[in-house]
């Protein structure tokens, strides 16, 4: 990872899913670059472990965390409120938390879990914090997506909850496509508000992402381990989108290896991004 110590000094970053893998690598690097960092995760113990690591690596770093489950809409609303109550600016929101399940599971809200965490959690948290991002000087939204979207096919708006013929990889791929479509629509809506939105493919990252995500994920991680990137390498494009002046005015793109890429019409129909936004508003009871 390219070091750029101090490049984030004076900027506040809110990062979800920071306790392992890519998220942990990003948290360590952002703290070293001087960011005022706030994390969101599900485990207080894991948060404290990362906080200790940050203190050891970067004495004097400012790092706080909030505990919440992004699969619970009440938790998302609570942690968003807790962040706003900190009365801090928000320069960068990095939506990174994600999962994949072997079998179909539902959240406390009765929604299919992969779609709820990987997309609706991003959608709701971002919208709850948009005013704070708009108040920043060039606020940025970064979403960890994946080129796994290519294997999910187009979104099936008649079955976004994957109630028929559940396939873990297809559902995961579609949740990553949802990240890309959300990014596109957010960028369009915020084009006059000074907030940019971009997402990126981290590559196949060697991490413990699979530990809490079922047997299928563990098998896939084991098979792919010889070809996997390090978490630090996987985080590079996200860090570039969060910090680089080169992309300050760039918005609405899916980045791969630091470069913007187009999403093919084989998985995206005209109007899909707008329709996903509308459905997401309904599913989260949020109107922008």
Task: Tell me whether residue 122 is one of the annotated catalytic residues.
Answer: no
- Beta carbons of 272 and 279 less than 8 angstroms apart: no
Q: Say how far apart CA 107 and CA 249 lie, in whole Å.
A: 37
Token duo for residue 95: 């939506």
Based on the number of CB atoms within 10 Å of its own CB, is 81 exposed (0-12), middle (13-18) or buried (19 or more)? exposed
Catalytic residue among 122, 149, 172, 253: 172
Active site residues: 172
């Amino acid at each position: 990872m390219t070091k750029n110590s101090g490049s984030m000094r004076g900027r506040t970053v809110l990062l979800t899913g920071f306790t392992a893998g890519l998220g942990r690598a990003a948290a360590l690097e952002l703290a070293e670059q001087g960011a005022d960092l706030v994390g969101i995760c599900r485990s207080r113990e894991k948060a404290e472990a990362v906080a200790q690591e940050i203190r050891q690596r970067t004495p004097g770093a400012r790092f706080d965390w909030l505990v919440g489950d992004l699969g619970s809409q009440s938790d998302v609303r609570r942690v968003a409120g807790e962040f706003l109550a900190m009365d801090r600016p928000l320069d960068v929101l990095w939506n990174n938390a994600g999962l994949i399940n072997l079998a179909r599971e539902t959240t406390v809200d009765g929604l299919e879990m992969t779609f709820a965490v990987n997309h609706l959690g991003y959608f709701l948290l971002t919208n709850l914090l948009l005013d704070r991002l708009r108040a920043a000087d060039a606020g940025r939204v970064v979403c960890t997506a994946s080129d796994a979207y290519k294997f999910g096919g187009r979104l099936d708006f008649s079955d976004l909850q994957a109630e028929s013929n559940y396939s873990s990889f297809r559902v995961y791929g579609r949740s990553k496509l949802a990240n890309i479509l959300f990014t596109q629509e957010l960028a369009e809506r915020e084009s006059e508000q000074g907030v940019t939105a971009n997402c990126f493919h981290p590559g196949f990252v060697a991490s413990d992402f699979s530990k809490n995500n079922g047997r299928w994920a563990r098998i896939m991680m084991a098979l792919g381990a010889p070809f996997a990137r390090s978490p630090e390498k996987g985080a590079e494009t996200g860090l570039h989108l969060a910090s680089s002046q080169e992309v300050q005015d760039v918005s609405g793109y899916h980045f791969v290896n630091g470069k913007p890429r187009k999403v093919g019409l084989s998985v995206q129909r005209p109007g899909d991004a707008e329709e996903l936004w509308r459905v997401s508003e309904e599913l989260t009871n949020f109107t922008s």
